[in-house]
Structure 1
Amino acid sequence: MSRTKLSVNINKVALIRNARGESKPDLLQFARDCESYGADGITVHPRPDERHVRYDDVPALKDLVRTELNVEGNPTPEFMKLVLDVVPHQCTLVPDDPGALTSDQGWDARTHQDFLSEVIGELHQKGIRVSIFVNDDPSMMEAAAQTGADRVELYTGPFALHYHDDSAAAIESYIRTAERARELGMEVNAGHDLDLENLNYLVASIPFIAEVSIGHALISDALYYGIENTIQMYQQKLK
């Protein structure tokens, strides 16, 4: 079984850059350095208000990234045009409201199955691997598989919230959801609120997770440990 890959979400780095309206920190250099320090991929989530990663950052990142570029977002017409033009390695579809502070729920794949199938078909025509953001709900996986998605990304916010209360109870529905997704032929990613405390428990409990994307906690840890050390610390938790 191959190891779980670490994709570093650099949204918060862009947020700091945008605060001054200048070019520091250099987002492209940061992405390049993350790869050189051991990241297996780079994730960005451009939102309509461009408060962190901007739409015009994405083509430049595609030209630069040598591992894998994962572009997340709600498949609005503007987002779809960007992704189909840039052709990242992976596109993760997330049902964000335009003003959402952060991603906080997965798709209802039953309700949106036709829409998702159409969007995924367009992305597949460009050879883009597609993951859809899902809640820890095993019963939703059949509808998710019927959309044609290659992967699901488990929304791990509730797991992280309850991890310290009862870790076994917090992970139980995620294990069942991941196993059901795999039975239906999909690979499994995970992301949201993962950190140095809960990450190893997650991947030890679901060892076939293909990829985790981590941004907020990882960048926060880097303020103390430095980005090179932090990436290595997260990779160690994945072993």
Structure 2
Amino acid sequence: MTNHVPAPLGHLRLGVNIDHVATVRNARGGEWPDPVRAALLAQQSGADGITAHLREDRRHISDHDIERLMDTLSLPLNFEMAATDEMQKIALRHRPHAVCLVPEKREERTTEGGLEVAREENRLAHFIAPLRDAGCRVSIFIAADPRQIEAAHRIGAEVIELHTGAYCDAHAEGRFDERDAELGRLRDMAAFAHSLGLEVHAGHGLTYDTVAPVAALPQVMELNIGHFLVGEAIFTGLGAAIAEMRRLMDAARA
């Protein structure tokens, strides 16, 4: 799978995930810090889009946040959600630019692993059809696994987002051989997905230390990054954190 011709390197989009601004707000209650204000600041600081995950338990982003984002943003909104009837109705009501289907378990701290598409092909094909008909770009968050990529292609997804968590975890824990192997899988699967006509995005756990090798993958067109940027913003400010991530992405792309 390494013989596919690379796609031309173009502008690499940065989607800024604002979930954990809402996590901080919800820890105390009230309205501060406001995730919509964070989205507008991200827009001014070099973001190409905003990502928000409305979880079933509403642990961070709320329904009202989604309404305000849709009313306020001039950037595209990438609406992350579980493949449930409730979330489908919300997405169809708002019709965001993109809908990204992710796995979701109530007991997890954050989204772990990719969506199991191959075992649920028929259900997911029927699930995404109304979303596509409503004009939403449908993305599937999956592991770098050819079986899942092929299934995402068969059900009619336009985009896949490759889960970069295993690569980032291996780097953070000093397991560098494993890190390099994970990066090789991401490289091969990005090329494979591109060969099927899928647009390739990537995200989960990316930091200043790990972003460049993923940003350099020629078929990857968008990175979605949130938790690290919100954490870094405590020390440097959100605008500066986003600007530095944008700089590192552009340098890797060049």
Could you say which TM-score interval applies, normalised by the shorter chain? over 0.9
Distance 1:60 1:66 in 2: 12
Q: Which residue of 1 aligns with 2:229?
A: 218
Q: Letter of the aligned partner of 2:204 in structure 1?
A: H
1:231 aligns with 2:239: no
Match of 2:131 in 1: 123
> Percent identity over the alignment?
35
Tell me which residue corresponds to 2:158. 150
| Structure 1 Cα separation of the partners of residues 227 and 239 of structure 2 | 16
* 1:40 Cα deviation from its structure 2 partner: 0.9
Aligned to 1:94: 102
2:42 equivalent to 1:31? no
Is this contact kept in 2: 1:133–1:152, CA < 8 A?
yes
Out of 74-83 and 93-102, give the one that drifted further. 93-102
Q: Is the 8 A contact 2:215 2:223 kept in 1?
A: no
1:172 aligned residue = 184
Deviates more, 1:183-192 or 1:135-144: 135-144
Q: 8 Å contact 2:191–2:219 — kept in the other structure?
A: no
Distance 2:152 2:86 in 1: 23
2:182 is the alignment partner of 1:188: no
1:119 offset after TM fit, Å? 1.5
Alignment correspondent of 1:162? 170
Moved over 3 A (4+): none
Q: Structure 1, residues 86-112: CA drift from partner, whole Å, max 9, x if none?
A: 111111001212332211111222211
Between the aligned partners of 2:112 and 2:21, the Cα distance in structure 1 is 21
1:197 lines up with 2:202 in the alignment: no
Deviation at 1:211, TM superposition (A): 1.0
**Range 164-173 or range 43-52, more displaced:** 164-173
- 1:148-199 deviation per Cα after TM superposition (whole angstroms, max 9, x unaligned): 0001110111011123413432201111111111111101111100011000
161-170 or 213-222: which moved more?
161-170
Q: What TM-score, normalized to structure 2?
A: 0.90
**Is 1:50 matched up with 2:58?**
yes
Task: Tell me how far 1:237 sits from its aligned partner.
Answer: 1.3
The code of the aligned residue for 1:26 comes to: D
Q: Which residue of 2 aligns with 1:76?
A: 84
Partner Cα separation in structure 2 for residue 30 and residue 95 of structure 1: 25
**Residue pair 2:203, 2:223 contacting (<8 A) in 1 also:** yes
Number of equivalenced pairs: 238
> Which sits farther off after the overlay, 176-185 or 157-166?
157-166
Counterpart secondary structure, 1:223: helix
Unaligned runs of 5+ in 1: none
1:108 aligns with 2:119: no
CA RMSD of aligned residues (A): 1.2
Q: What letter matches 1:224 in structure 2?
A: F
In structure 2, runs of 5+ residues without a counterpart are 1-8
| Aligned twin of 1:64 | 72
